[in-house]
Amino acid sequence: MAESESLLARIQGPGDLKTLSLQELNRLAREIRHLIVSTVSRNGGHLASNLGVVELTIALHLVFKSPQDKIVWDVGHQCYTHKLLTGRAVEFASLRTAGGLAGFPKTAESLHDAFNTGHASTSISAALGLLAGERLSGGRNRVVAVIGDGALTGGQAYEALSHAGQLGLPLVVILNDNKMSIGRNVGGLSKYLSRLSMKGYYQSFRRHFDAMAKRLPFIGDVFFAAVVRLKRAVKAVFYTDNFFVDLGFEYVGPIEGHTIQRLAEVLRDVRALNRPVVVHVITHKGRGYEFAEHDPLTYHGVGTFSVNQGLDGPAEGARDNSFTGAFSRAILAAARNDRRITAVCAAMEKGTGLAPFKKEFPDRFFDVGIAEGHAVTFAAGLAVRGRRPVAAIYSTFMQRAVDQVIHDVCLQNLPVIFALDRSGFVNDDGETHQGLFDIALFRTVPNLTILAPASETELAAMLDWALTAAGPCMIRYPKGACPPEDAAFHRPLEKGRGVWIRESGKAPCCLAFTGSLYQQVMEAAAILDARNIPADCYNLRFLKPVDEAYLTDIMNRYALVVFIEEGVKSGGFGEYAAELGSRHCCKGKILCLTAGDDFVPQGKRGELLSQAGLDGQGIARRVSEWVEYRNGIGSALYRTL
């Protein structure tokens, strides 16, 4: 077959892999890499992680019979080859776009996606559940969990390993060890895995010795018996204190992870085992694309880039005008004046903007690994000892630590600050990564203050305010650029109150909003002006606690108060305010504009805001409809309010 002919086009499903020779399989791996690089260069995505598992995924699909056998991908950000081998090559161009293929496994997308993932460290639990369920229904199919050394820093993975060891079912756990998480992997575990890699020489030593001994004429058997004794001794030195073995797993490895034939051989043996097994595979994150190989950290997750030139670095002297950049500068400035300030993150040093803090204050910086629950309780401990910890965690990942926020921080009223990045809609990653639940989850928690800045100045002021507060504070801000500054942002914070961005006192309508929607609300106000519906604009700032007398007064003064928030409807700020208004028999009508109550699929933040009616046009339309109703024109529309 000519080199130019696509092998991928011949793969309609994993079964077709068996029609390819080894040489062709290697060529397929090259083809897949090209396609991943070119698609991610256009659509953005998780590049380096996917490039690292091409051969491993081919070998898995050669040996295991998906969809009867199940493969659960931890985090799921490395599933592109899996998608390409399971009948989705044609749609691959739509990766991560609205309505297109998801960047993570999705059961709704394919029978081959055994379980939805997106948050780390769930694969072993899910795979064990799938396997236990399979056995309870009398089936004999196999289940594989593929977990990275980064995801293995998450506590749930250990709970699952412990349970799996106890159950003894033939679960296959592939440990994809590339020595990297999003950044360099941290913690005792990564050191432990490196030591295991050293011990792995035992495995290859054993194979070579066995093969050699058996080939020896005449003395082979005698020699072999001696070798067995020697092996036991070697094993005692190299093998006994293996953590996985102690938990009840067989341990195989480490195995070089880019040789399809060798991987397939090992996996065939493993598939025949009747006990739980960990297969330790060493891969190279970013493999096959030079830029990503040299800098897998930067190429872990990328936006668009030129295949030939790689990613553009930040322009010389360019200022990062995102909310993350604003937080990064604010915490650094605060930490220079207050030695008590410490920063905590969970494997997201770069994403949360804490890299400059780490550089300047290495002793006051803690990356705890992918362990959000631990990060929160650890921060609580720091606070008890008089530190001022700031835990920077994405909104979606903070869902992992709800109990720790309640039980370890708020119950003791400890002055821990939570910097919740990516609150609201996020670009491209879909349901698993939207930051839409934090207001509803945390507004109910006593002692906690929740703040929502609209700009860089407000974010810095809120951080300073929180650093002097006696109890816990959460600052939620979106992924995206800060708006140009406005005089209102500089007004001092008053506990429980927002700030007026536009206040005529005569407008029939008040738009009261959470900070991340400032620009959309200002655009709506301008559209409403043109329609002769003047609206005052009130930036809520404090989502909790609220000066209820002040808010009640607003709901009495305006004919319509529109609460606009980038979060779910149920349990949101608007619902709270509506209940407050009804309790106090306020005269104004209340309208709540929110992200709704469904899981929100992938898209660009702008697209998602517009679908939810939270862009300038959408907000203006809902307000206009209400006004038309008041004028007796649109009563049918009113029912939709």
Ligand X SMILES: Cc1ncc(C[n+]2csc(CCOP(=O)(O)OP(=O)(O)O)c2C)c(N)n1
256 close to 283: Cβ distance less than 8 angstroms: no
* 318 contacts: CB under 8 Å, gap ≥ 6: none
460 close to 489: Cβ distance less than 8 angstroms: no
428 touches ligand X by CB under 6 A: no
Catalytic: 27? no
Q: Which CB atom, from 116 or from 514, has the smaller least distance to ligand X?
A: 116
Segment contacting ligand X by CB under 6 A, of 174-182, 203-211, 423-431, 543-551: 174-182
377 touches ligand X by CB under 6 A: no
Segment contacting ligand X by CB under 6 A, of 75-83, 187-195, 358-366, 573-581: 75-83
The binder of ligand X chosen from 182, 409, 410, 528 (CB under 6 A) = 182
Catalytic: 339? no
Q: Which CB atom, from 75 or from 343, has the smaller least distance to ligand X?
A: 75
d(CA 595, CA 588): 23
622 close to 613: Cβ distance less than 8 angstroms: yes
> In angstroms, what is the minimal distance from the CB of 154 to ligand X?
6
Environment class of residue 248 by beta-carbon count within 10 Å: exposed (0-12), middle (13-18) or buried (19+)? Answer: middle
101 close to 28: Cβ distance less than 8 angstroms: no
| The amino acid at 608 | L
The binder of ligand X chosen from 397, 489, 518, 538 (CB under 6 A) = 397
Identify the CA nearest to 567 among candidates 592, 541, 601, 602.
592
> In angstroms, what is the minimal distance from the CB of 285 to ligand X?
5
36 touches ligand X by CB under 6 A: no
* 204 contacts: CB under 8 Å, gap ≥ 6: none
49 touches ligand X by CB under 6 A: yes
581 touches ligand X by CB under 6 A: no
347 touches ligand X by CB under 6 A: yes
Binding string, residues 471-500; x marks residues near ligand X by CB under 6 A? ------------------------------
CA angle centred on 279, ends 277 and 283, rounded to 5°: 165
Q: Which CB atom, from 119 or from 541, has the smaller least distance to ligand X?
A: 119
DSSP assignments along 163-222, one per residue: HHHHH----EEEEEE-SBSSSB--SHHHHHHHHHHHHTHHHHHHHHHHHHHHHSTTTHHH
The binder of ligand X chosen from 125, 181, 190, 203 (CB under 6 A) = 181
> In angstroms, what is the minimal distance from the CB of 175 to ligand X?
9
> In angstroms, what is the minimal distance from the CB of 534 to ligand X?
44
126 close to 152: Cβ distance less than 8 angstroms: no
Q: How far is CA 384 from CA 303, 381, 407, 409, 474, in A?
A: 41, 5, 14, 10, 18
Catalytic: 400? yes
Segment contacting ligand X by CB under 6 A, of 22-30, 70-78, 163-171, 377-385: 70-78
70 touches ligand X by CB under 6 A: no
Binding string, residues 120-149; x marks residues near ligand X by CB under 6 A? x---------------------------xx
Environment class of residue 632 by beta-carbon count within 10 Å: exposed (0-12), middle (13-18) or buried (19+)? Answer: exposed
As a whole number of angstroms, the longest Cα–Cα distance in the chain is 105
322 touches ligand X by CB under 6 A: no
Segment contacting ligand X by CB under 6 A, of 134-142, 159-167, 180-188, 264-272: 180-188
Q: Which CB atom, from 281 or from 543, has the smaller least distance to ligand X?
A: 281
The binder of ligand X chosen from 39, 116, 123, 178 (CB under 6 A) = 178
d(CA 244, CA 248): 7
Q: Which residues are catalytic?
A: 285, 372, 400
List contacts with ligand X (CB under 6 A).
49, 52, 75, 77-78, 119-120, 148-151, 176, 178, 180-182, 285, 300, 346-347, 370, 372, 397, 400
